[in-house]
Structure 1
Amino acid sequence: MILWTLFPAVLLVALVMTGGLRRYALARSIIDIPNERSSHSVPTPRGGGVAIVVAFLLSLPVFASQSLLPGNLIWALVGTGSMIALLGFLDDHGHVAARWRLLGHFLGSAWALFCLGGIPPLHAFGLDIDFGGFGYVLALFYFVWLLNLYNFMDGIDGLASVEAICVCLGGVVLYVISHHFEQSYAALALACAVAGFLFWNFPPARIFMGDAGSGFLGVALAILSLQAAWVDSALFAGWLILLGVFVVDATVTLIRRLLRGEKVYEAHRSHAYQHASRQLGSHKPVTMAVLLINVLWLFPLACMAVSGWLDGGVALVIAYLPLVLLAIKFRSGMPG
């Protein structure tokens, strides 16, 4: 009974706390002011993602007390999540130099990898792949990239929240399909925390997530996806498929900006979702389109990969290819 009252409690804590953070941000003038690189036109409070962090992390001791989640997963989420959220909080309230932020990202990710044990052998395209020691390096960059791309993709109302909820709830279903439901509690709690925040962030947003929330979500999803790989290789493919919209848009944008010789660490508004929101004149249609892509395209393919109907690697290619074409259509990585 305690467990099933926990999830509504997580949602309620995030909901109420976000409202409090909005008042705090307004009182302290912690406001995102629109500029030429912004995708919004109205000054809006930021930093509401702290509510997601607090609500979710408060649930972990309950899971630990009931032995419902592996100890190494809890330590990874608490240690790395707290560090990344704190770094983002400091950046939201002032400015942390890019080099120090990146160092913190690598250190936090290294702690999570230490807890999880790197990447296990994976099965894809009919092959068993053992990364050995190189797996730690690969996983480290996977964590840092997912953490940062989630920050890059948190640029229009409701988008990052809807994506996180879709990925987490999709992950819960994948655990059910693979008969590992006991592994799903963290993903379900994270979805509830984000849902509480989404009440305030749905278009038109009354508060933004801020770096504390977006960075935390990125690294939390990286941790949950890699931990899933230790449960079943197909589950990792399923999580990667569910993350497809953000991974593809951010990666295509990065590659195209690099090819043009741009300074990729500078703020911009050249992601496909940003171009789309300007073309449509509103954030809501883009956020809802991402919801539909997740539910109608990526989720079924992730289920096929986990159920064994499709090889995980093949399902990943099928899932990503149309997303790449869609990103190119909406001028991902191009100026203007």
Structure 2
Amino acid sequence: MIRVLLFFLVVCLSAGLTGLIRLYALRNRVLDIPNQRSSHTTPTPRGGGLAMVISFAAASAWLYLDGRLPADATLALAAALPVAAIGFLDDHAEVSARLRLAVHLLSAGTAVWLLNGLPAVLMPAPLDGLLGGLIWQVGSLGYALALLGLVWSLNLFNFMDGTDGIAASEALFVSAALAGLLHYIHPGLAATALTLAAASAGFLIWNRPKAKIFMGDVGSGFIGLALGLLIVLATREAPALLYCGVILYGLFIVDASYTLARRALGGQRWYAAHCSHTYQHAAKRHGHANVLLACWAINLLWLLPIAFWVFSRPAYALAAIALAYTPLILLARHYQAGHPEFQP
């Protein structure tokens, strides 16, 4: 009952704050002006992700004070706040890429240090036999793997926050699914994941097509890092949850990775702003609302069942990831992700 009440309180807080931030953005001309990376055509207020940051941070603090969230987990999640701060500055006045990267690495590195890296990894077939046991104690390598994964998760949301509702929907879906998987394993961590889902849902009320406000860098980086941290924390409680998280996150991982690879292999400046992700090409052809509905359908009807199946049968995780990702790769290929223009 407490979780249900907390969920609705955070939804209301996030939605209310988003409305106030929208008024602030309009009055102070904090607008997202259409450019070559944009999927919108009119200037739109940005920075609404600050509402998600405040709502999730407040709920996490309460869970810690109530004894439901461990101190190291609370501090690790708090390490994501500098990412939100540099994003807030970037939403108001452009910040250098080097400074942003330094803050991202410092925040992710601090969180990794607080959590002692990646915990023991459950090795699926056939790797369990090759590495001499079902559980792989990654040791010091776990720090590097965790840092790499967190920085990639952080950037995934920055890459993929380019059409109405998609980033908030992904955060809502992945965190809610993690909350369900953690329900009987670690109720406090499940409640934390649920509050991230609630913060995302409150913002989504304003961000759904046609979006009245965008998340901005203040939200995309923070949410990406927080979601990655939740997966690491979940893995610490049940090693199989690492693979569940990778599957649940599949829509963003495949689209961003495939697009980046195609741009690099095609001789393009892969680090430059662009508008060639799968979801962006699809939105140009089918519209933002239809793409968002398709993303929800893929997540709920395809990725979610596979993730829950892997949780009970982690030995088949590699095969399950291949199964989950194959249609997504084919979808990216169909929509010519990584190419400047989609040619039907």
Q: Which residue of 1 aligns with 2:230?
A: 224
Q: Which residue of 2 aligns with 1:116?
A: 115
Residue by residue over 1:276-313, the C-alpha shift from the partner in whole angstroms, topping out at 9 and shown as x without a partner, is 11121x11111110001000000000000112276222
In 2, are the aligned partners of 1:158 and 1:202 still within 8 Å (CA)? yes
| SS of residue matched to 2:80 | helix
What is the CA–CA distance in structure 2 between the aligned matches of 1:182 and 1:34, rounded to whole Å?
41
What is the CA–CA distance in structure 2 between the aligned matches of 1:77 and 1:129, rounded to whole Å?
25
Unaligned runs of 5+ in 1: none
Structure 1 pair 140/102, CA: closer, same or farther in 2 (3 Å)? same
Q: Which residue of 1 aligns with 2:29?
A: 29
Structure 1 pair 305/2, CA: closer, same or farther in 2 (3 Å)? closer
Matched, 1:155 2:162: yes
TM-score if structure 2 supplies the norm length? 0.93
Within 5 Å, which residues of 2 pair with 1:206-221? 206-221=212-227
What is the CA–CA distance in structure 2 between the aligned matches of 1:152 and 1:85, rounded to whole Å?
16
Q: Which residue of 2 aligns with 1:240?
A: 246
Within 5 Å, which residues of 2 pair with 1:8-157? 8-78=8-78, 80-126=79-125, 127=128, 128-157=135-164
In 1, are the aligned partners of 2:69 and 2:188 still within 8 Å (CA)? yes
In 1, are the aligned partners of 2:166 and 2:292 still within 8 Å (CA)? yes
What is the CA–CA distance in structure 1 between the aligned matches of 2:6 and 2:119, rounded to whole Å?
31
What is the CA–CA distance in structure 2 between the aligned matches of 1:73 and 1:262, rounded to whole Å?
40
Cα deviation, residue 113, structure 1:
0.3
Within 5 Å, which residues of 2 pair with 1:290-305? 290-305=295-310
Letter matched to residue 259 of structure 1: L
Within 5 Å, which residues of 2 pair with 1:246-257? 246-257=252-263
In 2, are the aligned partners of 1:50 and 1:85 still within 8 Å (CA)? yes
Unaligned runs of 5+ in 2: 129-134
Q: Which residue of 2 aligns with 1:165?
A: 172
TM-score if structure 1 supplies the norm length? 0.95
What is the CA–CA distance in structure 2 between the aligned matches of 1:37 and 1:169, rounded to whole Å?
29
Deviates more, 1:35-44 or 1:194-203: 35-44
What is the CA–CA distance in structure 2 between the aligned matches of 1:74 and 1:196, rounded to whole Å?
22
Q: Which residue of 2 aligns with 1:320?
A: 325
What is the CA–CA distance in structure 1 between the aligned matches of 2:149 and 2:76, rounded to whole Å?
15
Q: Which residue of 1 aligns with 2:311?
A: 306
In 1, are the aligned partners of 2:80 and 2:108 still within 8 Å (CA)? no
Deviates more, 1:184-193 or 1:117-126: 117-126
Instruction: Work out which of the residue numbers 272, 286, 289 in structure 1 matches 2:291.
Output: 286
| SS of residue matched to 1:311 | helix
Letter matched to residue 39 of structure 2: S
Residue by residue over 1:76-122, the C-alpha shift from the partner in whole angstroms, topping out at 9 and shown as x without a partner, is 111x2211100100110101111111111110000110111111221
Root mean square deviation of aligned Cα = 1.5
Structure 1 pair 201/115, CA: closer, same or farther in 2 (3 Å)? same
In 1, are the aligned partners of 2:276 and 2:339 still within 8 Å (CA)? yes
Structure 1 pair 65/47, CA: closer, same or farther in 2 (3 Å)? same
What is the CA–CA distance in structure 2 between the aligned matches of 1:315 and 1:70, rounded to whole Å?
32
What is the CA–CA distance in structure 1 between the aligned matches of 2:212 and 2:199, rounded to whole Å?
17
Cα deviation, residue 215, structure 1:
0.6
Letter matched to residue 290 of structure 1: C
In 1, are the aligned partners of 2:63 and 2:188 still within 8 Å (CA)? no
What is the CA–CA distance in structure 1 between the aligned matches of 2:13 and 2:186, rounded to whole Å?
28
Residue by residue over 1:18-48, the C-alpha shift from the partner in whole angstroms, topping out at 9 and shown as x without a partner, is 0000010000111112133321112110000
Letter matched to residue 336 of structure 2: R
In 2, are the aligned partners of 1:52 and 1:193 still within 8 Å (CA)? yes
Q: Which residue of 2 aligns with 1:187?
A: 193
| % identical equivalent positions | 44
What is the CA–CA distance in structure 2 between the aligned matches of 1:74 and 1:264, rounded to whole Å?
35
Deviates more, 1:104-113 or 1:311-320: 311-320
